[in-house]
Amino acid sequence: MRRSIAPLAIALALLGIAGTVYRSLSIGYPLFPRITERIWAARLAVEWEGPQAWVDVLLPREGIRQSILDERISSGSLEATVASDPGGQRRLRWRGEGASTASYEADISVRLLQAAPAPAPDRSPWLRTDELPGPVVAAARRVTASLPPGTAARRCFELMANPAASPLGLAEDLGRLRTGAGSLSEALVVCWRSAGLPARVVQVLPLRPGIYSRLEIFPEVFEHGRWAAADLAGRRFPVSTQDLLIWTAGERSLVETAKGGPVKWQIELRRRPLTLWTEFFRQTADRSSLLARWSLYSLPPNVQEVFRILLLVPIGALVVAALRNVVGFATFGTFMPILIAIAFRQTGLTYGLLLFTLLVGVGYAVRLSIDRYKLLLVPRLSVILTFVIGCLALLSLVAHRLGFQNVAGVGLLPMVIMTMTIERFFVVAEESGAHAALTMAASTGAVASITYVLISWEYLQLLFFTYPELLLVVVAGQLALGRYVGFRLTELWRFRRLTEGT
């Protein structure tokens, strides 16, 4: 009567696994890819007013922790040249007339793991003190002369970070040093150099996606074979540069022009998780294997981005099915949680959940207030939709004023889906009470969060993207689940009282 599903499920699972193993063996794809670095795309756009004979920008550094994979310069009608100074700092110069905008783009790979200390390069430029006025340098010498050797790096930092605690005899020299050096960071650098330690300032960006129009400045000292950065504002030394992108070293400003004058620039930082994999595919693409040529890596990058997520949606569906049929979560709509999870990818989990709660709350209030008018279904949904979008516009404005990011992503939250959720929430609240509706909303949120975490798992994305045949294994799981006739966990709870007599 009920044909067994096991043979089909097992066959599909085996087929999927076989395809994966074959692809892995024949083409040499790694089965357990390790993510050891992240790729960031940085785009520097410069805009100036009036004609300029030249415009210089400093290019990002390469070092033990970061390297540049690819660079693109768009100069329009300008002529671009790249020069490197003796310290290794590269400089891009645009020359010519006509255009007053230009941009530079780089893919920068940042290693996640701690790299071994680099072989000592020439650090003599970082010991020079001759660019500063003599009295300042002399003051710095007097300050550092009093410091016990071996602790000079930390003591210098403490003197600069905490001016109130300066020792009696040094107050005058420290004051001269601070006022004479231009900035506190520079004073600290001079202090370090006077103590015989190579020191510099670095201009950095936080490794977070966003648009920046200012570089942060961190003084650094070379000690025990590596650079250690100081955070003067936060009074911490040494601080980790793990989540920083070091753009340049030295105090020079990022953009300089021949005549000076107003220059606007901004750097947009984006994560490019798949770039490494694209590289990897290029290495294997020349293999004659059919599977290698028919890989998803051969799709255009923007399509790849879409499939990276899409391929995980079936797993999301499997999870939703399991949570509904095995655990017994009651959710609004069957696949509503998946759609909400995809929307969360635009907003982030915390913010997304907050928004979900807020929108359902506002929508419910609207629905409640228009209930007495007994509107037809579609116009009624339209009213809710309009209010939801209006509320969102207001929220974006407020968030923008308060300086929150992520707000731009909000628009992509599927509004219509939210509207339907609100309507279902209302119907359930009417029929089975507010408690049931809230439980349902909470489990929808929970299922969406679980699904979100799963589809955001980068390793899983890469695995399914590289081995799409693993979807067969997912189908096998779905088939098996389709024949689960046991109790749901919530039913054990629902009927538990019946077992008390036995």
Partner 1 sequence: MNLQAVRHALNGLGIMGMNHRNALYIGPLNPRHAYPTVDNKRLTKRLAAEHGIPTPELYGVIEAHRQVRDLPRLVEGRPEFVVKPCRGAAGNGIVLIASHDEKRVVKPSGEQVAWEELTYHVATILSGVHSLEGLEDEALIEAFIHVDPTFEAVTYRGVPDVRIIVYRGVPTMAMVRLPTKRSDGRANLHQGAIGAGIAIGTGTTMAAVQGRQVVSHHPDTGEPVAGIAVPHWDRILEIAARGYEMTGLGYLGADVVIDRSHGPVLLELNARPGLAIQLANQDGLRHRLMQAEAAWRPGLGVPERVALARSLFA
Q: How many residues in the shown chain lie near partner 1 by CB under 8 A?
A: 32
Closest approach of Cβ 321 to partner 1, in Å? 11
Residue 412, CA distances (Å) to 307, 343, 437 in order: 17, 7, 25
Closest approach of Cβ 322 to partner 1, in Å? 12
Q: Which residues contact 124 (CB under 8 A, 6 or more apart)?
A: none
Residue 6, CA distances (Å) to 14, 43, 477, 484 in order: 12, 53, 10, 12
Closest approach of Cβ 404 to partner 1, in Å? 37
Q: Does 6 engage in binding with partner 1 (CB under 8 A)?
A: no
Asked if the bond preceding 30 is cis, omega within 30° of 0, the reply is no
| Of the residues 378, 401, 402, 403, which one makes contact with partner 1 according to CB under 8 A | 378
411, 388 contact by CB (below 8 A): no
What is the 3-state composition of the chain as percent helix, strand, coil, each rounded to the nearest 5?
50, 20, 30
User: Helix 134-145 to helix 184-194 angle, to the nearest 10 degrees?
Assistant: 60
Closest approach of Cβ 47 to partner 1, in Å? 53
Q: Which of 66-74, 303-311, 424-432, 471-479 is the region at the interface with partner 1 (rule: CB under 8 A)? A: 424-432
Closest approach of Cβ 457 to partner 1, in Å? 28
Closest approach of Cβ 3 to partner 1, in Å? 12
Q: Does 396 engage in binding with partner 1 (CB under 8 A)?
A: no
Q: Does 14 engage in binding with partner 1 (CB under 8 A)?
A: no
Of residues 99 through 128, those in contact with partner 1 by CB under 8 A are none
Q: Does 377 engage in binding with partner 1 (CB under 8 A)?
A: yes
Give just the sign of the alpha carbon dihedral 203, 115, 231, 191: negative
- Binding flags for partner 1, 293-332, as an x/- string (CB under 8 A): --------------------------------x--x----
Residue type, 460: L
Q: Which is nearer to partner 1, 224 or 496 (CB)?
A: 496
Q: Which residues contact 8 (CB under 8 A, 6 or more apart)?
A: 476, 479
Q: Which of 302-310, 362-370, 395-403, 487-495 is the region at the interface with partner 1 (rule: CB under 8 A)? A: 487-495
Q: Does 430 engage in binding with partner 1 (CB under 8 A)?
A: yes
Distance CA 33, CA 461 (A): 11
Q: Which is nearer to partner 1, 113 or 378 (CB)?
A: 378
Q: Which of 177-185, 237-245, 465-473, 486-494 is the region at the interface with partner 1 (rule: CB under 8 A)? A: 486-494
Q: Which of 23-31, 355-363, 390-398, 431-439 is the region at the interface with partner 1 (rule: CB under 8 A)? A: 431-439
Residue 150, CA distances (Å) to 154, 440, 455 in order: 9, 63, 50
| Residue 459 CB neighbour total at 10 angstroms | 11
Q: Does 491 engage in binding with partner 1 (CB under 8 A)?
A: yes
As beta bridge partners, residue 107 has: 41, 70
Q: Which spans in 181-228 are helix H?
A: 184-194
- Binding flags for partner 1, 465-484, as an x/- string (CB under 8 A): ------------------xx
Q: Does 495 engage in binding with partner 1 (CB under 8 A)?
A: yes
Q: Does 402 engage in binding with partner 1 (CB under 8 A)?
A: no
Residue 54, CA distances (Å) to 82, 97, 484 in order: 13, 9, 72
Distance CA 302, CA 103 (A): 21
Q: Which of 35-43, 171-179, 261-269, 425-433 is the region at the interface with partner 1 (rule: CB under 8 A)? A: 425-433
SS3 assignment, position 484? coil
Q: Does 498 engage in binding with partner 1 (CB under 8 A)?
A: yes
Distance CA 287, CA 371 (A): 65
- Binding flags for partner 1, 154-193, as an x/- string (CB under 8 A): ----------------------------------------
Q: Which of 83-91, 267-275, 372-380, 398-406 is the region at the interface with partner 1 (rule: CB under 8 A)? A: 372-380
| Of the residues 213, 374, 402, 403, which one makes contact with partner 1 according to CB under 8 A | 374
Q: Which spans in 403-470 are helix H?
A: 415-432, 434-455, 458-466
Give just the sign of the alpha carbon dihedral 315, 319, 320, 324: positive
Q: Does 431 engage in binding with partner 1 (CB under 8 A)?
A: yes
| Residue 492 CB neighbour total at 10 angstroms | 12
| Of the residues 376, 401, 402, 403, which one makes contact with partner 1 according to CB under 8 A | 376
Closest approach of Cβ 496 to partner 1, in Å? 5
Q: Which of 217-225, 271-279, 413-421, 492-500 is the region at the interface with partner 1 (rule: CB under 8 A)? A: 492-500
Q: Does 345 engage in binding with partner 1 (CB under 8 A)?
A: no
Distance CA 186, CA 263 (A): 24
Closest approach of Cβ 502 to partner 1, in Å? 6
Distance CA 248, CA 203 (A): 5
Distance CA 305, CA 100 (A): 33
Residue-wise DSSP of 180-217: HSSSHHHHHHHHHHHTT--EEEEEEEESSSEEES--EE
Q: What residue ranges bind partner 1 (CB under 8 A)?
A: 2, 325, 328, 374-378, 427, 430-433, 436, 483-489, 491-499, 501-502
